[in-house]
Amino acid sequence: NLVNESALIAARLDKDRVGMDDMEEAKDKVLMGSERRSLVMDKDELKVTAVHEAGHALVAKHVPNSDPLHKVTIVPRGRALGLTLQLPDRDRYSHTKKYLLDRIAVMMGGRIAEELAIGDITTGASNDIEVATDLARQMVSEWGMSRLGPINFGRKQGEVFLGRDFTQKSHELSESAAVSVDAEIRRIVEENYERARTILTDHRDQLDALTAALLEFETLNGRE
């Protein structure tokens, strides 16, 4: 898919060979979606997007167990107005609890950056909140990574197929267990929300500098 996409990009530019810049553009398209240069945002919305992505990027830089920061952009791609992309430096087949907690903190960075720099919050964090909550739920319900201990609270419902009892019921949580699970999910998300807030408050000058750089250059790589 990557090679095909890069060949198409090179062909559209009338090149006679595929270069690394074509591969790089193809990788971004495959991972983040196509650029939507036709989507015009006004100055205020562009600044909010830059602040939001700068928040993600800075938390990613300052937490100890995060995947390396690869690219940050405020050019709309796919359905997103901006994107912060992290890429692992090696194949991962399992994740530590510290790594997962840092991922949640990174997801919360965009919303907190808005609070600090804009003094308001937007709908731009909806997907971040959804993914962070789902991740915390898996940590509590499936992976035993909470104060509730190594208990699986998940509800497994297999697909109905020949040989499986059609009336088979999924395991139901007791009301008290459900309350405890919900409380742990909230605790994990909120604690990492506050971790991200501390990072961005302590490095507010970097938040402002990175926001300004994104507004000027639109896209920055991890080294930049």
Catalytic residues: 53
Which residues have C-beta within 8 Å of that of residue 161, sequence separation ≥ 6? Answer: none
How many Cα atoms are found within 13 Å in the side-chain-facing hemisphere of 129? 10
Using the 8-state DSSP alphabet, how is residue 224 labeled? -
3 in Cβ contact with 24 (< 8 Å): no
For residue 75, what are its two tokens? 């050019």
Selection from 222, 221, 219 nearest residue 35 by Cα: 219
Residues 115 and 187: their CA atoms lie apart, in Å, by 20
